[in-house]
Structure 1
């Protein structure tokens, strides 16, 4: 399994060599484990797929179909595993190459790279930002990547561990000059890891649970967040002290930290209950405390300072006096004795909070810490004593890392968001009101009457609920969630749950309903005008985005709500839905509606004197708002990034960004750097003239019409979608913890956005990432001619938003394959329906490509991104066979084959295609 040679720059040679090397090891493993016939079959399939892809060879297509049709079910899983694992190995090689290039850049003493904090700070300094300006930014900054579960892609930890071992060994080969013996040992170790990978089950045998998703997400704290975030802060503080004149702050407050939805996101997921919520917070807390216990133990081993050689502070003497460590062996080692006492307290804390046994038995009993701040205060005592007694260098080691870690992660690890659909909140409040106030039909009221009733309820501390009343199952479940959130606050602190998100928010009453439910749980205190969590509307559809500013204007005009916001520092978070707005109105209109909504919201918030924090609900794919994070943040309208931003991260994107600690560090830094630049230098990146805005308005209207005409107005399109993609199998094969649809229907309106976009990616059509653009540009050109096209070219050169939009579409179109998509269309049982729809898709895709190339003034897709172009070219020979195999397996499964190997092959192919495309979900 060796990729073809491609002439390219010398700097890409190590990447090609790594891909060849890993492909050879996988091929050897396949031959050794499954035999020569299996190896030959895989190679034959690969060669035919290459001919079919590169030369549109109809004879190759016929041979490929015949070969796959004759393939026994037992062999289909071998083929699927072979190509899936190659995609994963190629990912490892590419990630390693990115790190290799970054090191080469640093070793050459080159200028800081775009997306680095060094570059962002330098740009800000050039624009006149001084120490005061930087201090203000970091004092109020908040940057949070929020991990969310993905119903179609969660790798087992065993697989991730194998992949990490291969990456580690490749990195060792790259960094160190190995002797021949060492090189042979390293290759054998990689072979061993590849063999382990081959012999490890890729898929879970049982339905994925929320607990599985929680456990999977926590692995990225081990690899990246707990390790790299403290280091990022330390480097940033050192750089600011070195480069910014008059910088006086020794330590920055935590502003960059991950969040999570996993275990708190109930929208469409009946398996997230109050018990699951508590289990999720407890699992996170265990991870944080386990890390801190281990680091504290290691710190004690390192700080062997003797009182006969160093002085200590009075505060440290007090810590030593309280320590239960009375060993004569440590009688003259004050730091170790103090740390032993701290370890005993931390161990007691872990036992009390989470029933977690410390990995090492403490030296004695001690009172648990009341909260993370108490533990941090003890660490500060160690720090202060070292600083004041000629041991600053020691304070900058593990202690600095641990102090930063507790400041970021506390005892709770990460804030867990709650999310539920507005319709559920409305039904819950309606039931409470109907029982508490007989004759009240809340759902029958108009919006004005609902608002009045809810405001009256919020003005009184009287609860609506009564312990003697039995409520419906749904209402009991919702109340239990909020009451459990209150208990979690008391146990783990308010940082453990900070946000309650309302899906499908469209009105002021949607917000006030949640306020009423929070009041029932004691999380909103009317007499104190205090709110303990953020109430966050999620505007998702095109119409909701268009109305968002009006809704928020009305809400912020309510004195009661404004008082509640004052208790939250006058910050209001708004979540914007990229996924559902795309499914509702198409790629171009979704992007434009989001941009316009941000402009309108920024103006409304400025008028009300309230600070805006935007939470971008982006997925991995472009159809769900994906694409490079740096460019996406800089492409926001002026004033939309006010030092604070939250962004969802999910699916295969989490693994690609955070499974490798160095890449994770780089991706976290990118988020911080982009937020700094977008806040302090907004006009550099987004300052469109009126003619740009008018052009986008026209293009959006045409694209929206084309998209809605196809997806919602074409008879039979729903059937075409369900039969020409893998959506039915995603829904039926127990892939993921939540249903594919919010309701028991096949309607596209009810379908969750993730499987909608993911299914189009699997069949390589990628429809949500481009459909409608070709028609829109064709209409524009027909009415405005070459002058109009010159304007679009200028927009691409001068407007970050438009350029990012086209760049993302460029990537999607390059990863699509119309010939493969046609093979999926043949799965549609109604031939007339297939002939009516597929030619439309094919023509629109070509129109999009033609329009894109003309506007960007390039000859081929991805001409402006050679590294990605090479990456895709290298990957197609291994992704394409999985698509062809998936088509064959879908035929068998839908024909009634009950063989479990066929179902497993479909799931394997789904996993492999997603891994190969890297941002498909």
Structure 2
């Protein structure tokens, strides 16, 4: 019997796999259909040409450098993978071919398919960019998710200036960069990708002569050759220091050029549409990071790491400003003999007499002074590390800037002088971008969040209270007594411990980390460490314990009868499990009932941030139950915030995959309940999704615009669309979520041996053993699913192509709730047509299921030695998969999982056969590894397959 391959893809982000057929082999044969229509084929022909070029170059290089035998093997695997897809041969035939390979042969095959996936990603991204430009030139309406479309929607809504001003007061959109175990590409690979992208753009936009075309092709060949001869992954385990540097690379790559211009354009457009809205100059778009501050389950985060993360971020920001000042001084070469300048500019340059010949180039003189002061700032903060930036024209004795606001004020003097003398076009170029960069990045670059688990806080605070003689057994207290004790301590300026106190290892380490955060705030400003996030927050005492930690580091001050308490760091509860989400609003209201805490929130502008955990809620209760628990939690939190008279800011802890809250960001944000956005959004961005979204300026601009567009629309427009039917719909989803959770729990939590099945049938143990990422796979040394980190949970199911976290339990819930009743089926069909939340949940689930491949998953199940366990669990998985697909078809009235995304369907059909050899070789190497062959070559081969699949899928965890 032929194994059927039901493989398809879902988008890793708003721009992921473009949906056009990447069907060419490494030498560009023509045996696979891209599309059945002439129009579709014509539209995708430029992509086919790009794939043909890049794939051909890669094929030539494989032949030349790996040998004819390896090239033939790669080509045979490619052809047979497509034959498997067309059910012309059994998958086992290809598996047998690959199983017979030695590691020395398997490795270049893995690398060839991984490199092709990487090149195909670049080609598809460029094609999306090209198609977008064609539509713009044709005068087509702006596409949803663009700011241009958002402006038109706002205009059509007839909003008043006052409505817009109130809604966007304190507006902020913050993508928060986090580390990820599959994003292990080195800077060399990153740079080669960027050069290939630039060359392909140039080739596509320029009328080249034959010689010029040959030159570009030769340059592309050099870059592909460089990629082939560069190791895709590191030899050693990724350290946090490496992850910090990986996160910082995106600033030079895109953020420095894109974020300032987006902020300026957005503010100008909104002010033009709503001149009396009172919009400030504060940038809406800012950046955040967890890398180096997130110590929940990561023992490698120390005070030295926090110092490095904040210090390197600050250096990156200040270095950028210095570089831009140097170039700006070169550009603003105007002579005082030819232009008029303001007195303030002359004074800034330090020349008292305007007639002094030293003032002949007043802008350069002023910028020299600004750069000297900034250089002194850098020297004060970073010491001799900045010496390489010093040149003969900089006076390092100049007075350093105390804050970034002082630097901005000086730049504003330059700006005002230019505009007053009709040089606005010059002010609107590099100077404008630099001023906006100083606003957005300051001297800190991005805000580093600190995060720790509430259990750790409890243990540390208990030790501090015992050491100080306040209470010998804090952990024995009930919640009311804990809150009373903590409140008393927070109201007293007296610290619990003194410097040099003899504390246990955990307490000493935790206090040192928070103290390092306090030093960063002192050195780089309060924006450098804006939040303290409490993982697994379940109570008011969890929140107050975090404040105790901040108080010991002198970040929290209780104030007095005449002064409100002060803390530049916000305490952010993270509600993660289904139960915690359900109780989140009650926990928040209880915290705000504590007078001291309520006074602190008032002092922080009456803004309370709450983080929602997509990953653990999904792992806890399954896809549909988690999504609905999040929606319900947001509804409850919105109601609670209105009752308490505060402004709610939600932080969405989304991962790359649908099982961790992933999927198109625009749709996800629009699917939020009414009142949940309120002009502000923080959202995590992880791993290969960061590279896919922000690796270069064009991609970054499109994806950042998407976040802004969705945030503004969700804030100002009615995007839920349920009207008076909302409460009835909520009741239906309550019932569906309960049924879905029951079906999910029956497998994951209640099936004997499920943990053994999971760990055996997926590469979970190898994720921890193969030096992938800096963070351990589990929070604790345990085999409980609840203690496993969400990334390896989802990554494991993704690698084995089951994709279980993105769909399991949903089909059973629909089937039981409908129970053959046509009216109930029509109710769900109505929700699909009119409710963005329900439609998004269904669409994301369908994309995940289309990407699953139960034929491959069955081969992974054979890794389970207990035959009865294997048959029982895999039988439950296949039954639920079939049931869920059928229910999706019934509710959406479609017969295609990707009916709402035809372009993605084309890409999936033609692209996914290239993943077949990677999965089959991973399986073979896993068998060898588990049989005792733990040679470096086998380990490296498994890691390469993981990296290759993550690259191809673009949303692996």
Distance in 1, Cα, partners of 2:795 & 2:392: 50
Per-residue deviation, 1:479: 0.7
Pick one of 770, 777, 783 that aligns with 1:746. 783
Distance in 2, Cα, partners of 1:145 & 1:322: 44
TM-score, normalised relative to structure 1: 0.97
Alpha-carbon spacing, 1:324–1:744, altered in 2? closer, same or farther (3 Å): farther
Alpha-carbon spacing, 1:325–1:707, altered in 2? closer, same or farther (3 Å): farther
| Larger mean Cα displacement after TM superposition, 896-905 or 188-197 | 896-905
* Structure-2 residue corresponding to 1:870: 906
Pick one of 368, 371, 375 that aligns with 1:343. 371
Distance in 2, Cα, partners of 1:322 & 1:420: 53
* Structure-1 residue corresponding to 2:298: 269
* Structure-2 residue corresponding to 1:476: 508
* Structure-2 residue corresponding to 1:441: 473
Per-residue deviation, 1:469: 2.4
* Structure-1 residue corresponding to 2:327: 298
| SS class of match (2:447) | coil
Pick one of 744, 751, 763 that aligns with 1:707. 744
Pick one of 41, 50, 54 that aligns with 2:73. 41
| SS class of match (1:749) | helix
Per-residue deviation, 1:660: 2.2
- Matched-pair contact (CA < 8 Å) for 1:636–1:686: no
Pick one of 904, 920, 935 that aligns with 1:884. 920
* Structure-1 residue corresponding to 2:731: 694
* Structure-1 residue corresponding to 2:44: 12
| SS class of match (2:350) | helix
Pick one of 204, 210, 224 that aligns with 1:180. 210
Pick one of 118, 123, 135 that aligns with 1:105. 135
| SS class of match (2:444) | coil
Distance in 2, Cα, partners of 1:260 & 1:911: 23
Pick one of 777, 786, 810 that aligns with 1:773. 810
Matches within 5 A, 1:135-214: 135-214=165-244
Per-residue deviation, 1:555: 0.9
Matches within 5 A, 1:591-740: 591-683=627-719, 685=721, 687=723, 688-740=725-777
| SS class of match (1:648) | strand
| SS class of match (1:616) | strand
Answering whether residue 791 of structure 2 is matched by residue 761 of structure 1, we say no
Q: Could you list the per-position Cα deviations for residues 380-408 of structure 1 after superposition, in whole angstroms to 9, with x for gaps in the alignment?
A: 11011111112111111110110000000
Distance in 2, Cα, partners of 1:155 & 1:136: 44
Pick one of 354, 364, 371 that aligns with 2:382. 354
Pick one of 237, 250, 255 that aligns with 1:220. 250
Matches within 5 A, 1:553-572: 553-572=589-608
Per-residue deviation, 1:683: 4.8
| Larger mean Cα displacement after TM superposition, 683-692 or 770-779 | 683-692
| SS class of match (2:821) | helix
| RMSD of Structure 2 on Structure 1 (CA) | 1.8
- Matched-pair contact (CA < 8 Å) for 2:649–2:680: yes
Distance in 2, Cα, partners of 1:761 & 1:108: 40
Q: Could you list the per-position Cα deviations for residues 342-393 of structure 1 after superposition, in whole angstroms to 9, with x for gaps in the alignment?
A: 1111112112212323535152332221121111111011011111112111
Distance in 1, Cα, partners of 2:177 & 2:134: 31
Per-residue deviation, 1:331: 4.0
Answering whether residue 615 of structure 2 is matched by residue 579 of structure 1, we say yes
Q: Could you list the per-position Cα deviations for residues 627-649 of structure 1 after superposition, in whole angstroms to 9, with x for gaps in the alignment?
A: 01101011001011111110000
| SS class of match (2:235) | coil
| SS class of match (2:387) | coil
| SS class of match (2:932) | coil
Alpha-carbon spacing, 1:829–1:593, altered in 2? closer, same or farther (3 Å): same
Distance in 1, Cα, partners of 2:921 & 2:426: 58
Answering whether residue 55 of structure 2 is matched by residue 26 of structure 1, we say no
Alpha-carbon spacing, 1:250–1:604, altered in 2? closer, same or farther (3 Å): closer
- Matched-pair contact (CA < 8 Å) for 1:578–1:616: yes
Per-residue deviation, 1:135: 3.6
Alpha-carbon spacing, 1:487–1:241, altered in 2? closer, same or farther (3 Å): closer
Per-residue deviation, 1:6: 1.7
Per-residue deviation, 1:68: 1.5
Distance in 2, Cα, partners of 1:436 & 1:327: 67
Alpha-carbon spacing, 1:325–1:309, altered in 2? closer, same or farther (3 Å): closer
Q: Could you list the per-position Cα deviations for residues 132-169 of structure 1 after superposition, in whole angstroms to 9, with x for gaps in the alignment?
A: 43344444211111001112323211111111111111
Answering whether residue 535 of structure 2 is matched by residue 532 of structure 1, we say no
| SS class of match (2:934) | coil
Distance in 1, Cα, partners of 2:192 & 2:466: 56
Per-residue deviation, 1:858: 1.1
* Structure-1 residue corresponding to 2:13: none
Gaps of 5+ in 2: 1-25
Distance in 1, Cα, partners of 2:804 & 2:69: 38
Matches within 5 A, 1:403-482: 403-437=435-469, 440-482=472-514
TM-score, normalised relative to structure 2: 0.94
Distance in 2, Cα, partners of 1:766 & 1:554: 38
Per-residue deviation, 1:5: 3.0
Per-residue deviation, 1:880: 1.4
| SS class of match (1:257) | coil
- Matched-pair contact (CA < 8 Å) for 1:264–1:272: yes
Per-residue deviation, 1:250: 9.2
Per-residue deviation, 1:438: 5.9
Distance in 1, Cα, partners of 2:367 & 2:354: 9
Answering whether residue 111 of structure 2 is matched by residue 74 of structure 1, we say no
- Matched-pair contact (CA < 8 Å) for 1:147–1:260: yes
Q: Which runs of 4+ in 1 moved over 3 A?
A: 130-139, 237-242, 245-252, 322-328, 683-688
Distance in 2, Cα, partners of 1:360 & 1:466: 41
Answering whether residue 840 of structure 2 is matched by residue 804 of structure 1, we say yes
Answering whether residue 343 of structure 2 is matched by residue 318 of structure 1, we say no
- Matched-pair contact (CA < 8 Å) for 1:138–1:253: no
Q: Could you list the per-position Cα deviations for residues 820-854 of structure 1 after superposition, in whole angstroms to 9, with x for gaps in the alignment?
A: 00110111111121111111111111111111111
Q: Could you list the per-position Cα deviations for residues 241-269 of structure 1 after superposition, in whole angstroms to 9, with x for gaps in the alignment?
A: 55x26468797321111100001000000
Q: Could you list the per-position Cα deviations for residues 647-694 of structure 1 after superposition, in whole angstroms to 9, with x for gaps in the alignment?
A: 000011101000021111011111111111101113555645333222
| SS class of match (2:232) | coil
| SS class of match (1:181) | helix
- Matched-pair contact (CA < 8 Å) for 1:530–1:564: yes
Per-residue deviation, 1:56: 7.0
- Matched-pair contact (CA < 8 Å) for 2:346–2:352: no
- Matched-pair contact (CA < 8 Å) for 1:743–1:750: yes
* Structure-2 residue corresponding to 1:821: 857
Distance in 2, Cα, partners of 1:245 & 1:540: 39
Alpha-carbon spacing, 1:544–1:131, altered in 2? closer, same or farther (3 Å): same
Pick one of 386, 393, 414 that aligns with 1:382. 414
Distance in 2, Cα, partners of 1:327 & 1:67: 83
| SS class of match (1:361) | coil
| Larger mean Cα displacement after TM superposition, 585-594 or 345-354 | 345-354
| SS class of match (2:415) | helix
Distance in 1, Cα, partners of 2:588 & 2:278: 37
- Matched-pair contact (CA < 8 Å) for 2:317–2:445: yes
Q: Could you list the per-position Cα deviations for residues 575-613 of structure 1 after superposition, in whole angstroms to 9, with x for gaps in the alignment?
A: 000000000000000000000011111101101101100
Answering whether residue 547 of structure 2 is matched by residue 518 of structure 1, we say no
Distance in 2, Cα, partners of 1:744 & 1:689: 44
Pick one of 477, 490, 494 that aligns with 2:526. 494
- Matched-pair contact (CA < 8 Å) for 1:545–1:594: yes
